Amino acid sequence: MSGLIPLGKKEDQRLEFKGAEALKEPEKIAREVVAMLNAEGGDVWVGLREEGGRAVAVEPVSDPGTEERRLLDFLVDTIEPPVSGGEVSVKSVDEGEGTVLRIVVSPNPARKPYAFLRKGGRHFVIRVGDRIRPMAREEIFFRGPQVNREALERAEAKVLEERNSVLKAGAERFWLSMEPAALVSLDIQNPRYEEFLQDPRRTQNRPSGWNFSRFEYRPRILPGKLVTDPKELLEVEIRRDGGLVFSAPLKSLHWRGNPNQIWPPVLLEYVVSTFRIARSIYGEHLQPKDAVVTDLAISGLKGWELRPGMPGAWHRSWVAFDADDFVLVQPLAFPFEEIEAAPDRCGYRLIERIYEAFGFRRESIPLFDPATGRLVLPE
């Protein structure tokens, strides 16, 4: 061994060990990471069995590449403010006895305090020695800029209010909304925005694909927003305050086969295309760390079916959705730098939630290149 894996060492302020079984309860790992973010940082090792706080044996992580990506996605989704690779990274380490995961935690003092999201609440904890304790109200209040958190909460409240309106309308619709937490003023008469909605190549979408960037009619200007023509089947709103809304009839997710069956490539490309468009629109207006709150709902989904895999490689039969609507447990917040660098990977995190709601694991999601995180469809 090179000595990188800390076998024989004892947990302390900057060192925590978790067995491989902890990957089944990633909330516990997120809690450890947040505690270090609010303290001095450090390393959380997953795949090391400990006795009396000392690492005594390697417990190899199965499929480390997949678990590495899965864990990082979970941490990004459940830590607030949204973390970047400079604050939290997950790497596989193998020194001959099996692969373990090393989570390197490097807090940004200007962004403290950090919280982990669980059951609709924000939980603030801090590491003291080898233990974790809840943060006192005074510690939370006097750490970091309150305006960032308040702006994030306002953006979240706005998308949730609109989501509730969509669900109350009772229509069968696909709906996705993005709201930047930063103050933004878009020039809704910018001709580039019309090009984004009518020329898919301008946003790196497919000219013949299932996306929100190939409308036939010229978008219209309304007070405070640019909207697609009512003759179009799909709908997009680009709002002066930076809000983006993408909507489509649920039936547009069906392409072939029996009625009320979602065609997987349509669903995937719809979602990914919204992030590619957002990257183009927000590029001149948001800073890398600015958060974009994103929410997704599919109303009237009860009885609709989804099938894992792709034609020629189906995993098993269609599975029907048994609730009235699909909604995210909580809107996701993406730092703009993540949308800018990897829009498809951002879309994948939403798609993963949909497949989970049908009871499918991530290996059932087709068409994503595991090496690049990109959605790969034929041109």
Instruction: Check: CB of residue 175 under 8 Å from CB of residue 251.
Output: no
Tell me the average pLDDT across 3-24. 93
What H or E segment, with its residue span, contains residue 152? helix 146-169
Say what the pLDDT of residue 13 is.
94
pLDDT band at residue 26, thresholds of 50, 70 and 90?
A: very high
Give whole-number Cα distances, 217 to 230, 231, 275, in Å: 9, 8, 22
Q: Which residue has the higher pLDDT, 278 or 334?
A: 278
Say what the pLDDT of residue 1 is.
40
Tell me the average pLDDT across 131-149. 71
Say what the pLDDT of residue 81 is.
86
Confidence check: pLDDT of 113 > 70:
yes
Asked whether the whole model's pTM tops 0.95, one would answer no
What tens digit of pLDDT does each residue of 158-203 get? 999 999 999 999 999 999 999 999 999 999 999 999 999 999 999 9
Per the structure block, which two tokens stand in for 58?
């390697």
3-state secondary structure 194-255: HHHHHCHHHHCCCCCCCCCCCCCCCCEEECCEEECCCCCCCEEEEECCCCEEEEEEHHHHCC
Residues 6+ apart with CB under 8 A from 369: 375, 376
Q: For the chain, give the percent of residues with pLDDT over 70.
A: 95
Say what the pLDDT of residue 3 is.
65
Confidence check: pLDDT of 82 > 70:
yes
Confidence check: pLDDT of 4 > 50:
yes
Tell me the average pLDDT across 366-379. 84
Q: Which residue has the higher pLDDT, 119 or 304?
A: 304
Tell me the average pLDDT across 16-41. 95
Query: Which domains are present in the chain?
Result: 15-135 (3.30.950.30), 146-364 (no CATH)
Alpha-carbon distance of 39 to 132, in angstroms, equals: 10
Per the structure block, which two tokens stand in for 237?
């709103």
What tens digit of pLDDT does each residue of 335-366 get? 898 899 899 999 999 999 999 999 998 888 99
Per the structure block, which two tokens stand in for 340?
């800018």
What tens digit of pLDDT does each residue of 86-112 get? 899 999 999 889 999 999 999 988 788
pLDDT band at residue 141, thresholds of 50, 70 and 90?
A: low
Nearest Cα neighbor of 226 from 236, 214, 238 is 238
* End-to-end Cα spacing for the chain: 47
